[in-house]
Structure 1
Amino acid sequence: MRFSDTLRSPSLRHLAVVLAGLVVAFLLLGVVLRPTRAVDVLDGRTLAAAAPATGNDRGTLWWFVQLGNPSSYAQFCLALVLTAALRRRWRLALLIPPTMLLSELTAQHLKVVLAEARDVPVAAASISDASWPSGHSTAVMTVALLAILVAPRRLRPLVAAVGALTASAVGIGLIAERYHYPSDVFGGFLCAAIFVTIAAIVLTAWDRRRPRPRPVDRRPLRPVHVAGPALLLVLGFLTAVAVAARADGGIVAAVGQHTAAVAVLGALGALALTLVAAATALTAESEEEAERVASAAPSPRWRPRRSRPARPAD
């Protein structure tokens, strides 16, 4: 297939638009908004509200935070590669390790480059000046998004729901334990999404340039495949409400006293849900396009018979 045909791919165009939007949002947050006083105030208010409200649940949140540690990250990488290999997704299996490595190395390098002292009203001594973007939130969101690419079609909604809830729990845990500011977690999510989108672009272009048959799950999604993830998201929301209700004065008082913090944490969960939903939709589109391209390409075992030149008459 010619390179010009690859550029006409609808899924590649959609992925490119998403990548551009993610890069703009990442730069806007890290370079323009984060140094402002408004973000300092929002970070401080969220820190002040998160720790007391989650005081009885800090052990659980601490456990979630450990999912972003380097050892856990390496184990997730191995699990994703093995799953992709078992599904005979060899190209995806090759892309997973460099994607995970580059996303985390970028986050750690940017911490040093963008390190600066912040005038946050409720600053925590445990939060370093070199904290943006969060490496833990980058790691967990990278795993969540790559798991969507690896998962079979029928399990993809469930994997997306689990990934969104886990990433949100890790982000809230980092804030409640005062390891990171909320803006650090937002930056980590966006950093992860950028590199997974780049991996999806490479994979889609690879499949179009060199199409090859691969196993495709043609079974349609049934209501039960969507109802389960939806119920899981509802339970996650109810858990957040129950945690907020433990605060002094109940949930109404918590929302009234910490409106900014509730808005920030709600936006954090909304971002996680939006990223996994977009990954699910774009993955389905790319797979359908790759299937069409592979079915239209000639079989590698078939070779046209060459006609022999006619012998001259005696």
Structure 2
Amino acid sequence: MSETASRRVGAFAGAVVAFALLAGTFGVFVRSYPGQASDEQTMQSWAAHFGSDVPTSGWLGDHQLAVLGGIGVVLAIVCAVRRSPRLAGHATILVLGAVAIAVFLKTGLQRPALGVGSLTNSFPSNTVAAFAAAAFGLIAVSPERLRRVVAVASLAGAAVVSVAVVGLQWHRPSDVIGGWLVAVAAAFAAECVLPVRGRSVRHLRR
């Protein structure tokens, strides 16, 4: 088996594992009473530190679309400067795929009425999925010499968003975990479809 084929098989397996963990998270924290209760309690405790008694828009609510749009522009510029349709395609599959999956699941899944919190399903967080996928996209398209710095900055930003959506009572912790797993699955899927790692795509590393 060639290196590219082997990496694609590995990436596909990674996506399958991420989706399995996503299903397990939903089953434990959304489908069961103990899971819902602990999830809700954690959110309420976290929100108390933010001073949020009810769901609050906050700075993130007013600016998240602008920030995501800016990240999209940065991704496009980097891919254009590096003259790489492969990187552009990889980033597009990753980010749009993560957002589409998160929105589909969030609107399609049902939250059982177990007497805990709102009945409206909020799993997984499409906001977290979008920011995490954007972070993975920035890491994927960045030159190798800058990748470590980009990884630290972009993942830290996504982590801040993850904390904020719980503190503002937009999402429970399991929703955040679900959003990250969606982004991880999309990253593996993008690497399966359009690999940007390995010796076969060495020219992309510069």
TM-score, normalised to structure 1, is 0.56
**Inter-CA distance 92–45: structure 2 relative to 1 (3 Å threshold):** same
Question: Cα gap change, 1:151/1:64 in structure 2, threshold over 3 Å: closer, same or farther?
Answer: farther
CA deviation after TM superposition for structure 1 residue 115, in Å: 2.8
1:146 aligns with 2:137: yes
Q: 1:63 to 1:142 in 2, by over 3 A?
A: same
Unmatched 5+ stretches in structure 2: none
- 1:80 paired with 2:71, answer no
Letter in 2 for 1:77: G
Q: Contact 1:65 / 1:136 at 8 angstroms: preserved in 2?
A: no
RCO higher in structure (CA 8 A, sep ≥6): 2
Q: Does 1:53 align with 2:27?
A: no
Q: 1:199 to 1:130 in 2, by over 3 A?
A: same
Q: 1:168 aligns with which of 159, 166, 183?
A: 159
Deviations 1:228-249 (A, max 9, x none): xxxxxxxxxxxxxxxxxxxxxx
Q: In the alignment, is residue 63 of structure 1 matched against residue 54 of structure 2?
A: no
Query: Please, which of 9, 17, 36 is the counterpart of residue 40 of structure 1?
Result: 36
Is the contact between residue 25 and residue 178 of structure 2 (CA under 8 Å) also seen in structure 1?
Answer: yes
CA contact (8 A) 2:22 2:182 kept: yes
Equivalent residue runs for 1:270-309 within 5 Å: 286-291=197-202
Q: What percentage of aligned pairs have identical amino acids? A: 23
Alpha-carbon offset, residue 5 of structure 1 = 3.5
Deviation at 1:131, TM superposition (A): 1.1
Specify whether residues 162 and 90 from structure 1 end up closer, same or farther in structure 2 by C-alpha distance, changes over 3 A only.
Answer: same
- Residue 124 of structure 2 corresponds to which residue in structure 1? 133
**Equivalent residues in 2 for 1:176-215, closer than 5 Å:** 176-204=167-195
Residue matched to 2:2: 5
Which residue pairs with 1:238 in the alignment? none
Shift in CA distance, 78/147, structure 1 to aligned 2, threshold 3 Å: same
TM superposition score normalised by structure 2: 0.83
2:46 is aligned with what amino acid? A
In the superposition, relative to structure 1, how do residues 65 and 35 fare at CA in structure 2: closer, same or farther (>3 Å)? same
1:15 is aligned to 11
Q: How many pairs does the alignment contain? A: 199
Measured in 2, the distance between the counterparts of 1:143 and 1:81 equals: 12
Q: Is 2:98 aligned against 1:94?
A: no
Give secondary structure in 1 for the equivalent of 2:169: coil
Q: Go from structure 1 to structure 2 and tell me whether the alpha carbon gap of 1:20 and 1:106 turns closer, same or farther (over 3 Å shift).
A: closer
Structure number with greater Rg is 1
Question: Which stretches in structure 1 are left out of the alignment for 5+ residues?
Answer: 205-282, 293-314
When residues 80 and 171 of structure 1 are mapped into structure 2, their CA distance, relative to the original with a 3 A threshold, is: same
- Displaced runs of 4+ in structure 1, greater than 4 A? 64-67
Residue 148 of structure 1: how far off its partner (Å): 0.6
Q: After TM superposition, give the deviation of residue 13 of structure 1 in Å.
A: 3.7
1:288 to 1:5, Cα distance in 2 relative to 1, 3 A: closer
Matches of 2:79 and 2:119, distance apart in 1? 37
Following superposition, the deviation at residue 146 of structure 1 comes to: 0.6
- Residue 154 of structure 2 corresponds to residue 159 of structure 1: no
Aligned residue for 2:2, secondary structure, equals helix
Q: Give the counterpart of 1:105 among 93, 100, 103.
A: 100
Give the CA RMSD over aligned residues: 2.7
Quick one: distance in 2 between partners of 1:135 and 1:36?
Answer: 22
